[in-house]
Amino acid sequence: MKIERLDRIALGVRDLDETAAFFEGLLGIRFDAPLSDDKLGMEARYSREGLELVAGHPGSVVDKFTSSRGEGVFCVVFKVLDMDEAVRHFREKGLEPVNDVTFGALREVAFHPARAHGLQIVLAAYPDPHPATAAALAD
C-alpha cells in the first residue's frame, strides 16, 4: 500500500464563510466556492494549499464533532493510488471503514479515530490531471 501524498487537513467549523474569511486574511489563501452534500449532511470549502473547512448540518457527524469538541482538526486526508489495496491494508492493521463515499471521480473512505490514536484518517482516490490540464479547464 502506498500513500501518494498528504492531500489536505479538514477543520470542523461552525460557519464556513466566517472561517474562510479569517484564514484568507490571516494566511493570504483563497477558498473555492462551497460544496454541499445533503446525503452526508455537510458543506465544505477547499483551498489549494491543503486546508479544507467542513461544517455540518444539524445532527450530522461534523455537527456532533463541533458541538462536543469545538472547532478543530476533523480529519487528515491522504491521497492513495489504489483505494482497494489501501482499504485492505488498513483492515489488516485493525482499522475498519466507517464511511465510503463517491463524488463524481472522487472516492473517499473514512476510518474511525478510536483505532488510530484519536486521528480520523480519510483515504482519497481520484484522477490527478496534469497542472496544465487543470489550468486549461479552469474558469
Tens of pLDDT, residue by residue over 35-47, are 998 888 999 999 9
CA-to-CA dists, residue 22 to 18, 33, 52, angstroms: 6, 15, 13
Domain boundaries, the chain: 3-137
pLDDT of residue 121: 98
CA 73/CA 84 separation, integer angstroms: 26
Residue 40, pLDDT score: 85
Q: Is the pLDDT of residue 139 over 70?
A: no
User: Given this model, what pLDDT does residue 73 score?
Assistant: 97
Mean of per-residue pLDDT scores for the chain: 93
Question: Which residue has 474569511 as its cell numbers?
Answer: 21
Query: Which has more pLDDT, 40 or 139?
Result: 40
* pTM of the shown model: 0.89
Is it the case that residue 131 has pLDDT exceeding 80? no
Average of per-residue pLDDT across 107-135: 89
Task: Provide mean pLDDT across the span 75-98.
Answer: 97
pLDDT tens for 23-80 read 999 999 999 999 998 888 999 999 999 999 999 999 999 999 999 999 999 999 999 9
Position 138 pLDDT exceeds 80: no
The CATH number of 3-137 is 3.10.180.10
Contacting residues for 45 by C-beta, under 8 A, at least 6 apart:
16, 20, 31, 32, 33, 34, 35, 52, 53
